């Protein structure tokens, strides 16, 4: 298990989806987007329910974008991940929409709880909305990550 990468209070979240697939992360685009290989096919995956600061929008990296990207890379780069669906399969940019797990740890939630991401609820993909809101709230209350570094 990769527990050394996650904070001691990171909850283990069991996946309940029959739609989950195993993929290998080939690259990290930013804090909430990765490229994976699934059965020999490369796909871009956008994490459901979270939003990290953008490293490339408006010509200047957003506050804490490098840290979010680096943390995502530390958590998933080169690893096998389990990808779980919600309601929609793809977004308008043709990226797969997924909850991303390393072992039984939900990476989307780790990024929220550690202050690298904010919640981004887009209906109908709301299965983990309450858990994500609680994780963001805890990060804000503990003044961690972007909540302490960015205005």
Give catalytic residues, as residue numbers. Answer: 46, 54, 95
Tokens of 90: 């793809």
Q: Between the CA atoms of 74, 78, 82 and 87, what dihedral angle is there, to the nearest 10 degrees?
A: 80
Q: For residues 108 and 49, give the distance between their C-alpha atoms in angstroms, rounded to a whole number.
A: 8
- Beta bridge mates, 83: 21, 100
Q: For residues 52 and 108, give the distance between their C-alpha atoms in angstroms, rounded to a whole number.
A: 10
Per DSSP, helices labelled H in the chain are 65-76, 107-113, 129-141, 146-149
Tokens of 32: 């909430």
- For 100, counting Cβ atoms within 10 Å of its Cβ (0-12 exposed, 13-18 middle, 19+ buried), the class is buried
């Amino acid at each position: 298990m990769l527990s050394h990468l996650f904070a001691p209070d990171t909850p283990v979240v069991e996946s309940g989806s029959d739609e989950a697939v195993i993929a290998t992360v080939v690259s990290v685009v930013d804090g909430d987007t990765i490229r994976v290989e699934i059965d020999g096919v490369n796909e871009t995956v956008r994490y459901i329910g979270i939003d990290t600061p953008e490293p490339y929008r408006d010509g200047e990296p957003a506050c804490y974008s490098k840290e979010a990207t680096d943390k995502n890379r530390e958590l998933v780069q080169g690893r096998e991940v389990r990808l779980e669906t919600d309601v929609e399969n793809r977004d308008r940019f043709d990226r797969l929409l997924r909850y991303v797990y390393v072992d039984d740890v939900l990476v989307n939630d780790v990024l929220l709880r550690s202050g690298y991401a904010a919640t981004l609820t887009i209906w109908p993909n709301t299965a983990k909305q309450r858990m994500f809101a609680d994780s963001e709230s805890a990060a804000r209350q503990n003044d961690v990550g972007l909540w302490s570094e960015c205005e």
